[in-house]
Structure 1
């Protein structure tokens, strides 16, 4: 396990409820496209890796698939098991999945590759458990981020806050360009065939209170950055956040945040 992986485990410990009430709705947007990309249909054996609150697993069950779902965080497993009671939900951490070679017809991972220290090794593991001819589909956040996703980071930057030393980034040799070409190349390097990568664009509709609740609770990297500051600095970040929200508030007082994700898929 890399220093990045260890940091991720600490950051997400016990955060399932806070995630479910803040960022989970945002992350649910690509789910139908992910399932379409791997051709989900009744009776297929499907693995959802990094299931989080179980949105993908529940949707796959809804299409009649035989679903297994894993996550590295116990609190997420508890929520996912309730969301997808028909799924086989287990605690497991990439790149060590508790499944045999070629066990699944399709594997999906919604934003999970953003949270592993060795993305190439993780993809190799996804390929291992996918049968020949099966399909893999994964999503990540792109870089640079879309305007709505960048809002919280802008507030942190405006307060003069950088990334704390206790939150390591990926090692340079493990990272890759977060672009359509870079993401497609990552799947190609994992020996997937007929790789396609698309950019998904949507407006996430929320409220300033809901959007701030995630980082205020320490959810994700942005939350860890916020929570590691003094009370005075957190108040400064919140002040900048409130001011910047004015750029995205519509006539009805809804916070409309433009987002983008990269979705790549290929065949084993």
Structure 2
């Protein structure tokens, strides 16, 4: 029997990159997985790819910053599968580059609304469902930038530090109920979202100089960490941020 057999998982921003790889891996490990993102066309394309692999998935359009769409996400999940065991909050935004003290207030608000506030609200709104099953899990996707801020991603980096704090605070509150809360802090992963960090030759060389393993990470490598964290293999782990960065500095 696969280790996530019978589990139901929601993965936000899961039509591409790390989110898609996590959704795919959880489904491969036996979970029924709800795939979501802001655009219906992206949801449909991702679901089609996963169903061609004979994986059990449901696609739901969801902009995590909109309360009515978050509500629909949970409602459709319960309507289809009858329960929820796992929430993976992966959605993130970074509409501008630059240092943290150069950030416009409107940009700061947008980054924190999506990266932190929406993650918090998803977790909060998932609890009535997670509490109905034993061994439920929440996983936030942070970043190595939450530990060691990137110069061009100042505000984004701070938002990812906040997710590490949210993980620790929520884990302590929910531990007595048997709900585990953990976090993944990916390094520089080969995705569309991270392209500015490695697409030019100079940026690529700079990125590799910071990674002791000497290569970029792959989305599937993050998926393995997520699957471990929500499985019984990690039954005594909560409140932790698992850094998967090829050896990049990861201490606050």
TM-score (norm 1): 0.48
Q: Residue 184 of structure 1 is aligned with which of 165, 168, 177?
A: 168
Distance 1:65 1:246, change over 3 A: closer
State the Cα deviation string for residues 241-265 of structure 1 (Å, max 9, x = none).
Answer: 25524625889xx6356xxx99787
State the Cα deviation string for residues 192-236 of structure 1 (Å, max 9, x = none).
Answer: 8345555767876x7xxxx5x83xxxx37x85xx9xxxxxxxxxx
Larger Rg: 1
Considering Cα pairs closer than 8 Å and 6+ residues apart, tell me whether 1 or 2 has the greater RCO.
1
Moved over 4 A (4+): 187-192, 195-204, 237-240, 248-251, 261-266
Following superposition, the deviation at residue 144 of structure 1 comes to 4.9
Q: Does 1:120 align with 2:126?
A: no
Q: Give the distance between the partners of 1:243 and 1:199, measured in 2 at CA.
A: 28
CA contact 1:176–1:183 (8 Å) conserved in 2: no
What is the total number of aligned residue pairs between the two structures?
Answer: 185
Q: Does 1:40 align with 2:25?
A: no
The alignment's C-alpha RMSD in Å is 4.8
**2:31 maps to what in 1?**
65
The SS at the match of 2:162 is coil
CA contact 1:120–1:186 (8 Å) conserved in 2: no
Distance 1:241 1:40, change over 3 A: same
Q: Does 1:247 align with 2:198?
A: no
**1:109 maps to what in 2?**
88
- Judging by fraction of residues, say which structure has more strand: 1
Q: Give the distance between the partners of 1:40 and 1:56, measured in 2 at CA.
A: 13
Q: Give the distance between the partners of 2:144 and 2:186, measured in 1 at CA.
A: 16
The SS at the match of 2:140 is strand
The SS at the match of 2:14 is coil
**1:27 maps to what in 2?**
none
**2:40 maps to what in 1?**
74
Q: Does 1:97 align with 2:76?
A: no
TM-score (norm 2): 0.50
CA contact 2:84–2:130 (8 Å) conserved in 1: yes
